[in-house]
Amino acid sequence: MALLPISKDPFVLPTDRDMLPSERRAFVHTHRTCVLGYARKKDGPAQSVVYYIPTDDGDLLVATMGARAKAKAVERLGKVSILVLDEKWPMGYLQVYCTAVIDRDPDTVVDVMMAVAGRMSGEPLGDDARPFVEAMAKEEGRVVLRCTPYATFATPPRHLHRNDQEEKVTHWLSGSVPWDAADPE
């Protein structure tokens, strides 16, 4: 498994049609922020804005503290949703449904934390930062949520530039599409 580098050209959502299955995967692989959703024991669903790292084998990795609720929910239920956000306006998004497990491998944890720092700052961390990140990972009890997508749900961006555009704003229904679905011919 290899972590994918940050994309210099994030996939741009089409505004006139639903995304193809391959475009949904490209959108996920070329963005970096999401809202991670998971079920709580007693209350409604919880959500956290996080950075994620896609891998070349299709997983989405999220570093977190092992003592946090999101890690406990993954251990308890093994399911999360990831709402991948487009970072430009009008905001588009793609919901990704995943099975999830906890990965405690120290090298993986540090690799993901280093990659997240690179996404946060816009440039990769140098190898000289690795000992600091390793110490932080150990001190904070960090783990990786290894999220394996199985379905997506897309919604195109919509925006009114003026209040007299009612006839120009279009909406349509989307549906869940299996993660590994082929594009229609």
Q: 29-33, 101-105, 166-170: which range is least confident on average? A: 166-170
- Residue 165 pLDDT > 70, yes or no? no
Parent domain of 130? 21-156
- Residue 114 pLDDT > 70, yes or no? yes
| Mean per-residue pLDDT, 99-112 | 98
Tens digit of pLDDT for each residue in 25-64? 999 999 999 999 999 988 999 999 999 999 999 999 999 9
**Do the domain assignments include residue 166?**
no
* Token pair 């996080």 in the structure block, residue: 50
**Do the domain assignments include residue 2?**
no
Q: Which pLDDT band holds residue 17 (cuts at 50, 70, 90)? A: confident
pTM confidence score: 0.89
**Do the domain assignments include residue 113?**
yes
**Angstrom distance (rounded) from CA 51 to CA 116:** 6
Give the total number of structural domains in the chain.
1
**Angstrom distance (rounded) from CA 125 to CA 79:** 31
Residue 148: CATH number of its domain: 2.30.110.10
**Do the domain assignments include residue 185?**
no
User: Which is more confidently placed, 88 or 122?
Assistant: 122
Amino acid sitting at position 151: A
User: Which is more confidently placed, 1 or 142?
Assistant: 142
Q: Which pLDDT band holds residue 22 (cuts at 50, 70, 90)? A: very high
**Do the domain assignments include residue 4?**
no
**Angstrom distance (rounded) from CA 72 to CA 122:** 30
pLDDT at 170: 59
Taking all residues of the chain, what is their mean pLDDT, rounded to a whole number? Answer: 89
pLDDT at 173: 67
